[in-house]
Amino acid sequence: QSVLTQPPSASGTPGQRVTISCSGSSSNIGRNTVNWYQQLPGTAPKLLIHSNNQGPSGVPGRFSGSRSGTSASLAISGVQSEDEADYYCGTWDDSLNAYVFGTGTKVTVL
């Protein structure tokens, strides 16, 4: 089972703000930066946010990330229908010596 815990689902109407949490521990989020991956239905994951809050080129500005202590969050400001996807947090765990992913959150746009 994953060491990073996410809510199974999140939802919002178009234009609303949707946030997803990722809870970890001192050996992972507490020590290393957090990354977020978006997986659209039937496709491979794609890097969405790296280093807690950096968006790669081409990622819409409505996606933002933050980290505080042993938790991190992904926010979608003004969610759109094309944002319906599964979202995963990920980071290195110094105790496990492993890269760990979160349990995943399915975002639904109502």
The residues that touch another protein, with contacts defined as CB under 8 A, are: 2, 31-33, 35, 37, 43-47, 50-51, 56, 88, 90, 92, 94, 96-104
Structure tokens at 46: 């794609």
**Of 80, 69, 70, 76, nearest in space to 100 by CA:** 70
Q: Which CB sits closer to another protein, 25 or 78?
A: 25
Q: Which CB sits closer to another protein, 24 or 102?
A: 102
Q: Nearest approach, Cβ of 79 to another protein (angstroms)? A: 22
- The SS3 of residue 24 is coil
Q: Which CB sits closer to another protein, 27 or 109?
A: 27
Strand arrangement of the beta sheet that strand 17-23 belongs to: 17-23, 71-77, 63-68
Structure tokens at 61: 């500005």
Q: Nearest approach, Cβ of 62 to another protein (angstroms)? A: 20
Q: Nearest approach, Cβ of 74 to another protein (angstroms)? A: 14
Point out which residues pair with 18 in neighbouring strands.
76
